[in-house]
Structures are given as C-alpha cells and as structure tokens.
Amino acid sequence: MVLHVSLITILNSFLSPSADKKLPADTSPKPTIFLPSINEVNHQQAATYLCLLEKFFPDVIKVSWKEKNDNRVLPSQQGNTMKTNDTYMTFSWLTVTENSMKEEHMCIVKHEKNTRGKDQEILFPAVNEVVTTTEPPNDCLKDGSDTVQLQFTYNSAYYTYLLLLLKSAIYFVTTSCCVFRRTGVCCDGKNS
C-alpha cells in the first residue's frame, strides 16, 4: 500500500509539475516606469508614458490613467497580459499632447492582490520637468558639416581597407606563383 501511494505521488509530480511550485508571497503588480524621450518631445510635440507591470497573479488587472489632480480617466492603450513562468505581466501607455505636458499624470492599477486592497497610484512627472533637467552631451552633432565630415571619414576608412584587401590578394597570388614555379624547377631539373 505504501509503495502504491508513493508511486502515485511520483507520477502526479511528473504529470503536473506546476502543482508543487509555490507563488511568491507578494503577487501584486510590480511597476517599472518609462518616461518619454527628449527626441519625441522636441520633434513630435507629444510625450508617451509607459508603465510595465510584472510578477502579478492572478491575471485579471485593470489599468487606467488620470492627470494628478483630476478624476477624469484619460484615453490610453494597454498591451495583452502575458504569462511569464508562474506570474503575469502587461503594459500600458499614455500619449499626451503638448498642452498636457506640463501636468503630472498617474497610472492607476486595480488588482486584487494590491496592498490593503487599495489601487496602486504610480506618479509620472510632468514632461517639461524631465526635458529641462536633461541636457544633451556637448559632443552631439550640431550641424550638417559634422555629418558630412563623419561620412567622409567612414568612406575613407572603407576604401582604405578595401585597397589593403586587394593588395593582400595580389601579394598572395604573386607569392604563390613564385613558390610553385620554383618547386617545379627543382623537381624536374628542367625549366618548363
């Protein structure tokens, strides 16, 4: 009887490997925020906030976006919820226009495993604060002449390596002909 029970236990562990796996104690969504790029803000006059939510269980989740001091839900996008190992992940993003860039925004996450049953409120700073505090490096290309110089340097290096490759190929052929011609003279003793 003991052998029968242990055999069933072993078979069950092979047939359902996830039965023995335990979920972490905290399965509430873990947020990672991504702020808009300077390039997007400067050239498109728009900004996209992205909120990645990972390691939550179960997979039922609701994400919405609001301005910080406003209760109105803003139109946003949400990706599909995907399973990763024993938990789930999803992402949501909000694109704001130039008029809304001066406002702080919040990503509101509703999930049954949130701490104390409260919604997570993830604060995203105003775009203008982010852009003004981030300066591009001094060595960025400033005008077209730098671009032309860079292209000239690239082309010069390309043609130099191509010329060296051609020179090496000609040297190889010449050396091979000399070696084979000398070998033929030594073996026969006659010049052919």
| Same domain, yes or no: 61 and 126 | yes
> How far apart are the C-alpha atoms of 33 and 45, rounded to whole Å?
20
> How far apart are the C-alpha atoms of 111 and 176, rounded to whole Å?
75
- Our count of domains for the chain comes to 2
| Same domain, yes or no: 115 and 161 | no
| Same domain, yes or no: 38 and 84 | yes
Output the pLDDT for position 104.
94
Which two three-digit tokens encode residue 17? 């490997």
| Same domain, yes or no: 28 and 115 | yes
Q: Is the pLDDT of residue 128 over 60?
A: yes
pTM of the model: 0.57
Which is more confident, 76 or 146? 76
Upstream peptide bond of 58 is cis (omega within 30 degrees of 0)? yes
| Same domain, yes or no: 113 and 31 | yes
Phi and psi, residue 6, nearest 5°: -70, -35
Which two three-digit tokens encode residue 135? 């300066």
Q: Is the pLDDT of residue 171 over 60?
A: yes
Which is more confident, 35 or 143? 35
Q: Which of 10-24, 49-63, 170-184 has the highest mean pLDDT?
A: 49-63
Output the pLDDT for position 82.
94
| Same domain, yes or no: 74 and 111 | yes
Domain interval for residue 155 = 142-177
Residue 185 in domain: no
